[in-house]
Every structure is written in C-alpha cells, then in structure tokens.
Amino acid sequence: MILRLAAAAAAVALLAAPALAAPREGAKLDRIAKDFVRLTLEAGEREPGYVDAYYGPADWAAAAKARPREVPALRAETDRLAAALKAVDGKALRPDEVRRKAFLVGQVKAAQTRLAMLAGQKFSFQDEAEGLFGVRPPIKPLGAYDPILAEIDKLVPGQGDLATRVTAFQARYTIPADRLEPVMKAAIAECKARTEAHIALPKGERFDLAFVTKKPWSGYNWYKGGAQSLIEVNTDLPTPISRAVDLGCHEGYPGHHVLNALLEEKLTKAKGWVEFSVYPLFSPQSLIAEGSANYGVKLAFPGTEKVAFERRVLYPLAGLDPATAETYDALVRATADLASVQNTVADLYLSGKMDKEAAVAALAKYALTTRAKAEKSLSFIETYRSYVINYNLGQDMVRAHVERAGPSLDARWKRMEAVISQPTTPADLAR
C-alpha cells in the first residue's frame, strides 16, 4: 500500500514537474566535486605540499588523515572521476556549470598526472607541465636570451661580468632589514587600496604578515579560509625595493589573498561548490593563481605608477635615495623578459641534460643574479619542477586575456575579477 501510494505520488510529481523527477545534470557535478575533495585530501597525506589550502569540513580532513588510500587506489579514483565527468552531458548544464565542469576536468587530469609521478612515472618537462597545469610551455634555447642581455649591458655600463655588475648595482637598492616591515606594510596597503577601488572585497577579509627564513621561495600566501591569509616573506636573501610592491600585489591584492577570498565567497559559499575549498598546488588553478598574481602588479600600477609610488613613499621609508628610482626601475623592467629562462633551465636540468653546477651558472648568467640567488632558484626548481611556468607563461596568458578587454582600466579590472572569482581554466584565457 505504502509502495503504491509512493509510486502514485511520484507519477503525479512527474506529470506536474518533469524537471524534478530526474536529478539535474548539474547535481552529478556536486557528487564528483565531493569525491574530488576527498581524493585531494588523501593525496595530500601521500605527498607533503600536495594540498596548498583547505578550509572545507574539518571531518573530511580528519577522515583523509585517518585512512588515506594508497597511491594505486587514488590513481584508480582519478580515472573513475575523469570518466564520470566525461559522462556529464554539457548540453544539460547551466553556463556557470559548463565552466565548473571544465575546471574539474583540468583538476582531475592534474591529479592523474601528479599521482602517476608519485608512482614513479617519468614525464618530459613539457608533458609534465601540460598534465599538471593544462598548457604546453614553449621552451626557448638559452641563446634566445642573449639579445636581452646585450640590451641590459647598455643600462649597466662597466667592465667585467654582466651578472656581477647588475647584482652590484642592485645591492644599492636593498631594503635594510630593520625597514623591511614598514616598507612591506606600506606596499601592501597601497596594493589593497588600488584593488578595492575596482573589486568589492569580501567583508572582514584580512591577512597577517610574517618574516621567515630557510624556504625555497621568496614569498608565500597561506590561505586559511574565512577570507584570511598568512603572508610570509622570506628574508634569506636581501629584498630589493622593487620586490615590495611585487610581493604586496602577488601574495595579497589583487593576487593570491583576493583570488582565494573571492573563490570562497562566490563559489564555495554562494554556490556550495566544495571543490574550491581545496587547492591542490600542482593543478591548472596554480597557472591562474600565479599568472593573475604576477599580472596584478601591472594592473594595479599601470605605466609608470609603480616607480612613482616607490619613489614617493617606499624609497624614503627604506632610507634609499629617491632621485635614482627611475634608473633602477629601467633595469627591473629590462630584466622582466628574462623570466622564462627558468623554464629552459628547469627543462635542461630536470631532464639530466645539464648538471647542477651548469644550471646554477646558467641561472646566474641569464637571470642576472648572484650565485646565492641562483642556488635558491635551483632549489625552487628541484622542489616545484615545472611549476615555474605558472609565473611567466601564466602571466603572459592572463595579461593577453585581460588586455583584450581594451585600453579602459575599468574594463580590464572587470575581466581580472572574472578570472579570479569564477572557475577559470588556461583554455578560458585564450578567449
């Protein structure tokens, strides 16, 4: 009787509202997303650093910690999720769900690749980058950077090795250790003010700033959830004055802190899309995050506004001579085109075509740095491997995408906000 009644009620519901009878296609994505978060948390138990940030349910993290599946089982799960995503009918999804699906496809592909690497599978540099970050980086030969070095040579006249001359020149622009905190705080405050003028930031968003040592990176944003970040600045090596705004925008505004806070507010909370509560470091999300964080500097300080701000506010705070700010800025801008040297050296070194000594020498020569800094760069490459492409190629892709909005700054900020507050894949940036 009960059964019959239930069947009759179901039949009536079917006639009255057919859409309610079958689960919406988008609901399949909810299930896949939940399983993806569990998979990611468990993979994080198999590889330290796999999970960059997580602020979802605490019991999911506890369960992953207590019973993480072995790598082969996790690999099988990524294959299952990839097949499940393939079976989701894109034509039955809302436009925002189409983006959500594309994002999940890239994240799952990255998990397949990273777990294969954990299982001992070897990839070429380009295959690894494509599997993890969703884009195949072009690799230029080192000689392609020689004309840029020749241009920089003209900016820093003198005898002897160019990298030595450049680093001696740069040393005059180091922020004294006891001025680092006020300079960093002033830089971040300006980055925030410029971002807030264009993007409504989540209520109560905030960050803590800490200075650390003995890390392979120069700065890091640890996103804590609830619109809060811990920004760490590494003081192992001297911090040049030009890095203050770079770090403030990159780690803070409109960079990592804002991206994470907006994704949490607009996707995790507003739509219940749990996959955004976890951030697997080796995934296309990092290309979007690093690319937008680096491009954010140019967006927040267009044209000569960065050097103007540095000269007016940061140089006096750091006790440096503002009269020479433009000279130093010209050098900083000229060296920007050398950024993708990291990809070339990483490719050669990780594939065994270049030994450690030669890799350090190549980084010192082509990134125009001291040996100590080149060693730091190589230690970053050893730790993060093809992740290096996210900074330069990611930035180029985000810049091209945002600047296709036209010359209006408002239009560019609007595009940037879309990049950092919606599911965005590297393929979306090609549009």
Give least dist CB 106 to Zn ion, A: 18
CB of 305 to Zn ion, least distance (A): 22
Of 77 and 290, which has the nearer Cβ to Zn ion?
Answer: 290
Minimum CB–partner distance for residue 250 and Zn ion (Å): 6
CA distance 322 to 300: 21
Three-point CA angle 193, 195, 199, nearest 5°: 125
Q: Which residues bind Zn ion (CB under 5 A)?
A: 290
The DSSP H or E segment spanning 168 is helix 162-171
Q: Which residue has the tokens 């002897």?
A: 160
Q: CB-wise, 71 or 237, nearer to Zn ion?
A: 237
Rounded Cα distance between 211 and 191, Å, is 19
Closest approach, Cβ 293 to Zn ion, in A, equals 5
Cβ nearer to Zn ion, comparing 101 with 298: 298
Taking the C-alpha atoms of residue 345 and residue 141, their distance in angstroms, rounded to an integer, is: 9
CA-closest candidate to residue 103, choices 430, 428, 423, 429: 423
Please say which residue, 275 or 290, places its beta carbon nearer to Zn ion.
Answer: 290
Cβ atoms of 299 and 254 closer than 8 Å = yes
How many angstroms separate the CA atoms of 24 and 75, rounded?
A: 28
**Residue 290 Cβ vs Zn ion, minimum distance, rounded to whole Å:** 5
Q: Indicate the residue among 74 and 297 with the shorter CB distance to Zn ion.
A: 297
Q: Is 155 helix (H, G, I), strand (E, B) or coil?
A: helix
Compute the radius of gyration of the chain from its Cα atoms: 24
Closer to Zn ion by CB, 219 or 423: give it: 219
Please report how close the Cβ of residue 219 comes to Zn ion at its closest, in angstroms: 7
393 three-state secondary structure: helix
426 and 134 Cβ atoms separated by less than 8 Å: yes
